Amino acid sequence: MTRLLIVDDSPLMRRLLSDIFGQQEDFVVATARSGEEAIAVLTEFAPDVVTLDIHMPGMDGLQCLDRIMLERPTPVVMVSALTAEGAEETLEAMSLGAVDFVPKPGGAISLEIDALAPLLVEKVRAAARARLSRTARLAERVRLQSAGTRRRPKPARTRGRVMPVEWAAPEDGAIVLIGTSTGGPPALDAVLTALPATFPWPILVAQHMPASFTGQLARRLDRACALAVGEVAKPTPIEPGHIYIGRGDADLIVTRRGARLVAMPAPEDPDRLWHPSADRLVESALGVVAPERLVGVLMTGMGDDGAELMTELHARGGLTIAEAEESAVVWGMPGALVERGGAAMILPRDRIAGALLELARPR
């Protein structure tokens, strides 16, 4: 059974969420009315996963999340408003350790929650299985705990592997295509901020997110990265050494206008479940760029988006990298690529940027 703690100051939301998960056979549910109450019951109830409202009186969701990650690290799914403010707060929550988020219903909550229920259950189930970093904020946790009360966690053993790769970047350079979902913003932060301003190749990113979040994500990354980062909200020429974030509630595709390659948003493909779609990004790139000029990177996320087309990319002579299981929050998407035999390299998150730099190094 999965032990779920629902934290929300709204009695209606607590009741509706309790009803949704109470109908599932694999959940045991407890609730808390505030951040303070959540911290008080955290050790006693020992949840496997927490849903956490951001806006609460007293200790708000971000403060509560901070305490959870320091005192008893537990997978957390944030319940967030689909607004610019909500996006910024949610991205901050993910930088503090939250695994995922779900949109908070607006308007007639009791009516909208029914439509949201399947996604909510799927995300909470995935979060309960998520792998939290054993070393994230370790120094703060050690300072918080009494000396000798807990043993220092050992670093996870790296199980990533590099298969023999007979790929070399063409003289005119390559294009990097990244797909990610659950746990993606911190993963993108780790990889993209490690690239220097001299990295020569363009990078296109399909991160599953709504449109109200992807602009904020691009701006946060732009502040943190040496490379220029922008959201693709209109047709945009692809330039070396730039990072392009696909706009949410749409798909990111690559097309050609004359001699120039262009990144542009396209209406969601209804045959694909997640958007921006990593599969569609790779498919579009394969239509206008030689496969040997493409590098596909598939990182943390539930489901299998990107696995099919990156396997095809690998078979046609492109290079593919899957994030290793030990660093992925959810090893759904990269695991599916590995299972299909489509990953040329399997690397933990902290080695992906180094691999890209080595691949781009002039020979």
Residue-level pLDDT at 84: 75
Tell me the per-residue pLDDT of 282-320, one tens digit each, with 9 for 90 and over: 999 999 999 999 999 999 999 999 999 999 999 999 999
Q: Return the CA Rg of the chain.
A: 21
Could you tell me if 202 and 330 lie in one domain?
A: yes
DSSP run (H or E) holding 240: none
Residue range 8-13: average pLDDT?
A: 93
Q: What's the CA gap between 216 and 220, in Å, rounded?
A: 6
Q: CA-to-CA distance for 119 and 71, rounded, in angstroms?
A: 29
Query: Sheet holding 251-257: strands in order across?
Result: 236-237, 260-266, 251-257
Statement: residue 92 has pLDDT above 50: yes
CB within 8 Å of 132: residues ≥ 6 apart: 73, 74, 75, 97, 99, 329
Write down which residue in 139, 174, 193 finishes a domain: 139
Q: Which of the two residues, 21 and 153, has the higher pLDDT score?
A: 21
* pLDDT tens readout for residues 119-145: 999 999 999 999 887 655 555 544 544
124 and 199 within one domain: no
Same domain, 181 and 311: yes
Q: What pLDDT band is residue 105 in, cutting at 50, 70 and 90?
A: confident
Residue 328 Cα to chain centre, angstroms = 9
Q: pLDDT at position 157, please?
A: 41
Q: In what order do the strands lie in the sheet with 76-80?
A: 27-32, 2-7, 49-53, 76-80, 100-103
Tokens of 279: 């599969």
My answer on whether 107 and 184 are in the same domain is no
pLDDT over threshold 70, residue 159: no
- Extract the tokens encoding 312: 């095809």
* Mean of pLDDT values over 319-348: 96
Q: What is the per-residue pLDDT for 267?
A: 97
Beta strands at 175-180 and 294-298: parallel, antiparallel or unpaired: parallel
* Catalytically annotated residue among 189, 275, 305, 314: 305
Share of the chain above pLDDT 70, in %: 90
Q: What are phi and psi of 253, to 5 degrees?
A: -130, 160
Q: Which of 34, 80, 181, 212 is catalytic?
A: 181
- Domain annotation covers residue 18: yes
Q: Is 195 inside a domain boundary?
A: yes
The sheet with strand 203-207 has its strands ordered as 161-162, 345-347, 319-323, 294-298, 175-180, 203-207, 242-246, 228-232
In a domain, 224, yes or no: yes
CATH number of the domain residue 236 falls in: 3.40.50.180
Cβ-in-10-Å burial (0-12, 13-18, 19+) of 65 comes to buried
CB neighbourhood size of 247 (10 A): 24
Q: Are residues 173 and 123 in the same domain?
A: no
- The neighbouring-strand residues paired with 49 are 4
Same domain, 14 and 72: yes
Looking up residue 91, the CATH number of its domain turns out to be 3.40.50.2300
Query: Residue 79 is encoded by which pair of tokens?
Result: 């319940």
Residue type present at position 158: T
The percentage of the chain sitting over the pLDDT mark of 90, rounded to a whole number, equals 80
Residue 146 annotated as catalytic? no
Residues 105 and 228 in one domain: no
CA separation for the pair 198, 200 (Å, rounded): 6
Which of 208, 242, 275, 314 does the annotation list as catalytic?
208
Q: Does the annotation count 208 as an active-site position?
A: yes
**Residues 250-270 pLDDT 10s:** 999 999 999 899 999 999 999
Looking at the 3D structure of the chain, how many domains does it have?
Answer: 2
Q: Examine residue 111 and state whether it is found in any structural domain, yes or no.
A: yes
Identify whether 277 is a catalytic site residue.
no
The two tokens of residue 130 are 């998520």
Average pLDDT score over the chain = 90
Q: Where does a domain end: 77, 109, 139?
A: 139
What pLDDT, on the 0 to 100 scale, is given for residue 140? 53
Instruction: Report the distance separating Cα 189 and Cα 207, nearest Å.
Output: 12
Per-residue model confidence (pLDDT) at position 147: 36
What whole-number distance in Å separates Cα of residue 36 and Cα of residue 99?
21
Residues spanned by the domain of 289? 161-360
Burial 297-335 (b: 16+ CB within 10 A, else e): bbbbbbbbbbbbbbbbbbeeebbbbbbbbbbbbbbbbbb
Are both 191 and 288 inside the same structural domain? Answer: yes
